[in-house]
Amino acid sequence: MSRWRPVTSGIPEGSVLGPVLFNIFVGDMDSGIEHTLGKFADDTKPSSAVNTLEGRDAIQRGLGRLERWACVNLIKCNETKCRVLHTSWGNPKHKYRLGDEGMESSPEEKDLGVLVDKKLKHDPATCTHSSEGQLYPGLHPQQRGQQGERGDSAPLC
């Protein structure tokens, strides 16, 4: 039988209760957010089709809410990993900020081992274990490989 050990903070890695408590902890993260917010482990990805100034402002408000949520919950955002992936033809490439810092635009991003570029094309060399149906998790099957209307943007944090 295992012996009891003191836990000074957090939940021991590999516990059954850890993921449940984490989901409860981040459950209110998307409260008041006006766009899609993808959450996977320690990554958060706000995304939306942005083809108006109002859409751009909604994304920026969402980033502000996420920053305030992180501050209230004593979570530090790694701003060096926060970038914007602008997609589609004719994208106005709006600028976003996280706190006082501007977010860099990125021509491509690697997410869960899949490299995706601004045209939503993937690099098959990075997808050796993915089937066609899993290349773009979170995208509806009709959206895969399509260019959205002018101005789709997806901040990645």
Residues 104-146: tens digit of each pLDDT: 998 888 877 788 888 877 666 655 444 444 444 444 444 333 3
Q: Nearest-5° angle of CA 47, CA 53, CA 55?
A: 30
Please report the pLDDT score of residue 12 as a whole number.
Answer: 64
pLDDT digits (tens, 9 = 90+) for 44-103: 888 888 888 998 999 999 999 999 999 999 888 888 888 888 887 778 889 999 888 899
Question: If you write DSSP's letter for every residue of 82-141 in order, what string do you get?
Answer: -EEEE-STT------EETTEEPEE-SEEEETTEEEETTS-B-GGG-TT--GGGSSTTS-G
What's the confidence (pLDDT) of residue 65?
93
Is residue 30 within 8 A of residue 62, CB to CB? The reply is no
What is the C-alpha to C-alpha distance for residues 62 and 51, in angstroms, rounded to an integer?
16
Tell me the backbone φ, ψ of residue 68, rounded to 5 degrees.
-65, -40
* Predicted pLDDT of residue 60: 93
Model pTM greater than 0.85? no
Q: Which of 103, 81, 109, 105 is nearest to 92 (CA)?
A: 105
Give residue-wise pLDDT tens across range 6-39: 767 666 677 788 778 888 888 899 898 988 888 8
pLDDT at residue 92, as a whole number: 84
Residue 50 has a pLDDT of: 84
The better pLDDT of the pair 76, 154 is held by 76
